[in-house]
Amino acid sequence: MDETATNGLPRPPLEPATAPVVPERPTLDGLEGKWSALWAESGTYAFDRSADRSRVFAIDTPPPTVSGELHLGHVFSYTHTDTVARYRRMRGHEVFYPMGFDDNGLPTERRVQNYYGVLCDPGLRQDPSFVVPEKPEKHPVAISRPDFIDLCGRLVAEDEKAFEDLWRTLGLSVDWNHTYATIDTGARRASQRGFLHLLSNGHAYSTEAPTQWDVDFQSAVSQAEMEDRELPGAYHRLRFARVDGNGAVEIETTRPELLAACVALVAHPDDARYQPLFGTTVVTPLFGVAVPVLAHELADPEKGSGVAMICTFGDTTDVTWWRELSLPTRTIVGRNGRLKPVVWGDPGWESTDRTAADQAYGEIAGKTVAQARSRIVELLAAAGLMVGEAKPITHPVKFYEKGDRPLEIVSSRQWYVRTLPLRERLLERGRQLQWHPPYMVHRYEAWVEGLNSDWNISRQRYFGVPFPVWYRLNDEGEIDHDHPLVADESRLPVDPSSDVPDGFLEEQRGLPGGFVGDPDVMDTWATSSLTPQIAGHWADDPELFAKVFPMDLRPQSHEIIRTWLFSTVVRSELEHGSLPWAAAAISGWVLAPSGKKMSKSRGNVVTPLPLLQTHGSDGVRYWAASGRPGTDTAVDEGQMKVGRRLAIKILNASRFTLSRIAGGELPGPDAVVAPIDLAMLGDLARVVDEATAAFEGYDYARALERTEAFFWSFCDDYLELVKGRAYEDPSQAGPASARAALGLALSVLLRLLAPFVPFVTEEAWSWWHQGSIHRAPWPDVTEFPAAIVRGTVSGPEDSVLSVVAGVLGAVRRAKTTAKRSMRAPVARLTVVDDPARLALLAQAESDLRDAGGVIDLIMNSGPPDVGVELGEEDAG
């Protein structure tokens, strides 16, 4: 049975059917528990690493964030991937389908702090006597980073168990021998190894630079983690006096509190109004700092008065101006979001009126940005330095996507990956990737083209992967950032807060002439950008990694194209010089039943477990698989009910079909000779072709739609038409044809449906087969009767089946109109049609008589019409 399928891979063997053993009353109840346990026990989805590389289909499964619960969106998109995985497995691929858990990062860190009542102090040494607090203390206990990470690990282990249970209930065909967590040893090793390679190849660097900073989280934030929010603000018009005494320059600003950080004014070089001012000097109001008036193209003559004040740093434009115009640094906003103390008169803080400056600044020092803003406006107004009233506006302000207060730009030391020089190569890689749906490539391209800074990968947090580097301290105790001491790869993973660099002793930590560890951890994307390497055991199992990388498929949602997909492409390009996968399948979002996006703040998040219990896993999967690739889909319990009904129908139709073919040997495909049987199988063969083509393009929804439509017509019409004939003497050609066709159709249909409704198809399959349907071969045209293989069966337009089904429909309509039972006999059926169609009808005349209860059948040539005369029902 080891045939080669059209994709060049050996087909899995199709076990011959066994004598059917069908339960009296089939039920969906308990199928999830029964089959998920059996699949686990028999390793149905275990990856065979001895498989040839060409057979491997590897999936870069998205690791869900473990903080909190899985929601229906997860069920939705993971089902999509699972249908593809199951299809690939049946087509002869050895599917590498791991599962990860994203437990690295801020959300986990916050939960641990609250759950255990602890705070991480990276300055502390690991305490060997540390015990897990039973209850959170009133005041948080400070603990070392290794102990903190240990607690994080404990907490997420519980979540991960719950996740795995849900995934098994849903029927994901994941290989549970291949799991990882983004904070586990393997992930830390891979992250640190990847980082060291970036460092040694010159792709990573650290520098002190203006950094987007969340003042609450006290951490840097990368471009990808930022979002705009519309916030009310106001334009304040301020007057800067010219030092030559020739009047004043008026500027407009939404951030008057940064006046003390002003380092220049700027206008567009072509702006005639300000050209005479370029090169002159003005003085800041209140603080009396002399600043130049400069020209730069980014200044917009249309905005405000056409002149902007450049502060260090109000926004990213300020950073650009500061860099390109080589301006001095005069920062006043601290990392805590409050205004830092400043001594006017010190170098860099020269003022024409030191006393006034001190007095004004004293009013705002120590205040938050928002508080300082109101106060400074009062001071300006009181001093008559504001022109007119503030003009309220609404404008976009940058936030950390998880943050509550606007980002500030502070100066700090960070690690960066050089992505800006890669733009062209990354665009090329984007074009090489197969996108499903194809238009999703635009999101990637827009992002790459819009990159305006290198990728900041360091975060000032604790629960994350530490940078595997230390720094020497000179004799004055100053840190030498330019010559990091790196860990040897064989030692990874290391934690520089507790591990010691080679050649040093723990006693030298923090002392002049000694060393300090890098205090930061990596951005969560710096780790998750390596999911193919982590899942494939790049750092510790090169043989496995060679089998699975580059992977075949990255499934993910569209909103993280700019983060996860992008960063994975970057890392793969820099580490391996290749794409990380051949294709990316982008799923849409699940919307609340109202059609709105689900979010915790809206309180419309739908949890999956009750739905799985109510509609069954197959029912929920059916709903999920009906959602087109890349399309946002609303939660629809109606669709789940339909899915459940389909599952029940599969059980009953299988049972019924098996009752017809039971008893005696099932004839092979070439026993199918009756025209109507061949017509049905011809239709089915086309469905196989369509479903296969759809799956090849990752269009699982289309595959399901075609298969399901056929299945219902199979039940409604074909089964009704042949159920009588199939019961007749099996040694006769007619009954043998029906039985062979029924057996083949059921086998093919169950296999076509298996990726979508794995539980019910496995159940029905088990009634007449050994082994799992999920390791059976995907249906193939070679299984069909030779007549169909050669394509001699006509299309659905004029098939025996379609003509007969049409007449059967007319008979049913007549019975319904007459309010009679479907079992009512038809005394006389008169079919008028053209001779060709009548000839087709004649080929299935006895099946039609059986199914319709037809006594007399008259066929006349003429304009199409069906006349039905109902008879009296037998008393008996």
Partner RNA sequence: GGGCGCAUAGCUCAGCUGGUUAGAGCGCAGCCUUCACACGGCUGAGGUCGGGGGUUCGAGUCCCUCUGCGCCCACCA
Binding residues for RNA restricted to 307-336, rule: CB under 7 A: 307-309, 314-317
CA–CA separation, 721 vs 738, rounded Å?
10
In the complex, minimum distance from the CB of residue 636 to RNA, in angstroms, rounded to a whole number = 5
End-to-end CA distance of the chain: 51
Length of the chain: 876
In the complex, minimum distance from the CB of residue 152 to RNA, in angstroms, rounded to a whole number = 28
In the complex, minimum distance from the CB of residue 820 to RNA, in angstroms, rounded to a whole number = 6
CA–CA separation, 240 vs 579, rounded Å?
54
Nearer to RNA, 167 or 623 (CB): 623
Q: Which of residues 562-621 bind RNA (CB under 7 A)?
A: 562, 595, 597
Judged by CB under 7 A, does residue 812 bind RNA? yes
CA–CA separation, 305 vs 300, rounded Å?
9
Nearer to RNA, 488 or 865 (CB): 865
In the complex, minimum distance from the CB of residue 821 to RNA, in angstroms, rounded to a whole number = 4
Q: Which of residues 63-102 bind RNA (CB under 7 A)?
A: none
Compute the Cα dihedral for 698, 704, 706, 707 and give only its sign.
Answer: positive
The closest of 82, 80, 87 to 99, measured between CA atoms, is 82
The closest of 13, 28, 163 to 762, measured between CA atoms, is 28
Nearer to RNA, 15 or 632 (CB): 632
Judged by CB under 7 A, does residue 815 bind RNA? yes
In the complex, minimum distance from the CB of residue 318 to RNA, in angstroms, rounded to a whole number = 8
Q: Which of residues 431-450 bind RNA (CB under 7 A)?
A: 439, 442-443, 446-447, 450
Nearer to RNA, 228 or 845 (CB): 228
- Beta partners for residue 586, in sequence order: 556
Nearer to RNA, 297 or 350 (CB): 297
CA–CA separation, 608 vs 617, rounded Å?
10
In the complex, minimum distance from the CB of residue 526 to RNA, in angstroms, rounded to a whole number = 18
Q: Which of residues 339-378 bind RNA (CB under 7 A)?
A: none
Judged by CB under 7 A, does residue 452 bind RNA? yes
CA–CA separation, 402 vs 225, rounded Å?
8
Amino acid at 129: S
Judged by CB under 7 A, does residue 299 bind RNA? yes
Nearer to RNA, 207 or 816 (CB): 816
Q: Residues 6 or more apart from 442 whose CB is under 8 A from it?
A: none
Judged by CB under 7 A, does residue 227 bind RNA? yes
**Cβ–Cβ under 8 Å, residues 825 and 853:** yes
- Joined together, the tokens standing for residue 446 give 């827009």
Query: Binding pattern to RNA, positions 756-795, x when CB under 7 A?
Result: ----------------------------------------
Q: Which pairing describes strands 290-295 and 118-120: parallel, antiparallel, or unpaired? A: unpaired
Stretch that binds RNA, among 1-9, 90-98, 132-140, 821-829 (CB under 7 A): 821-829
Nearer to RNA, 173 or 639 (CB): 639
Nearer to RNA, 140 or 406 (CB): 406
Nearer to RNA, 143 or 277 (CB): 277
Dump the DSSP string for 650-667: HHHHHHHHHHHH-SSPPP
154, 161, 303, 340: which one contacts RNA (CB under 7 A)? 303
Dump the DSSP string for 480-519: EEEEEEEPPGGG-S--TTTS--TT--GGGBTSTTSEEE--
- Joined together, the tokens standing for residue 211 give 């950094």
Q: How far is CA 765 from CA 100, 678, 684, in A?
A: 31, 23, 18
Query: Binding pattern to RNA, positions 454-493, x when CB under 7 A?
Result: ----------------------------------------
Query: Binding pattern to RNA, positions 257-276, x when CB under 7 A?
Result: ---------x----------
Give the residue carrying structure tokens 């320059």: 249
Question: Dihedral angle at the C-alpha atoms of 100, 106, 107, 109, nearest 10 degrees?
Answer: 100
Query: How far does Cα 869 stand from its chain's mean position?
Result: 59
Amino acid at 812: R
CA–CA separation, 286 vs 260, rounded Å?
8
Amino acid at 80: H
CA–CA separation, 558 vs 569, rounded Å?
15
Judged by CB under 7 A, does residue 628 bind RNA? yes
- Joined together, the tokens standing for residue 236 give 């304040």
Nearer to RNA, 400 or 467 (CB): 400
Nearer to RNA, 14 or 427 (CB): 427
* Count of C-beta atoms within a 10 Å radius of residue 556: 21
Nearer to RNA, 289 or 810 (CB): 810
In the complex, minimum distance from the CB of residue 610 to RNA, in angstroms, rounded to a whole number = 17
In the complex, minimum distance from the CB of residue 494 to RNA, in angstroms, rounded to a whole number = 34
Q: Which of residues 650-709 bind RNA (CB under 7 A)?
A: 652-653, 655-656, 659, 702, 705, 709
CA–CA separation, 523 vs 546, rounded Å?
27
Nearer to RNA, 235 or 470 (CB): 235
Stretch that binds RNA, among 11-19, 293-301, 374-382, 526-534 (CB under 7 A): 293-301
In the complex, minimum distance from the CB of residue 24 to RNA, in angstroms, rounded to a whole number = 10
Q: Among the residues of 301-440, which ranges form H helices?
A: 316-324, 354-362, 369-382, 423-432
The closest of 29, 45, 153, 49 to 101, measured between CA atoms, is 153
In the complex, minimum distance from the CB of residue 779 to RNA, in angstroms, rounded to a whole number = 19
3-state secondary structure of 630: coil
Q: Which of residues 405-434 bind RNA (CB under 7 A)?
A: 406-407, 409
Q: How many CA atoms lie within 13 A of 361 on its CB side?
A: 26
108, 179, 182, 253: which one contacts RNA (CB under 7 A)? 253
Stretch that binds RNA, among 576-584, 755-763, 766-774, 815-823 (CB under 7 A): 815-823
Q: Which of residues 707-736 bind RNA (CB under 7 A)?
A: 709, 712, 715-716, 719-720, 723
Size of the site for RNA (CB under 7 A): 87
Q: How far is CA 512 from CA 368, 396, 499, 509, 515, in A?
A: 36, 47, 18, 9, 8
Nearer to RNA, 339 or 719 (CB): 719
241, 325, 377, 634: which one contacts RNA (CB under 7 A)? 634
Q: How far is CA 366 from CA 339, 363, 456, 465, in A?
A: 5, 9, 29, 33
Judged by CB under 7 A, does residue 821 bind RNA? yes
Stretch that binds RNA, among 121-129, 284-292, 643-651, 733-741 (CB under 7 A): 643-651
Stretch that binds RNA, among 9-17, 52-60, 641-649, 770-778 (CB under 7 A): 641-649
419, 568, 633, 761: which one contacts RNA (CB under 7 A)? 633
73, 233, 608, 853: which one contacts RNA (CB under 7 A)? 233
Q: Which pairing describes strands 469-473 and 826-833: parallel, antiparallel, or unpaired? A: unpaired
In the complex, minimum distance from the CB of residue 815 to RNA, in angstroms, rounded to a whole number = 7
In the complex, minimum distance from the CB of residue 230 to RNA, in angstroms, rounded to a whole number = 9
6, 613, 817, 860: which one contacts RNA (CB under 7 A)? 817
State the Rg of the chain over Cα: 36
Q: Which of residues 98-127 bind RNA (CB under 7 A)?
A: none
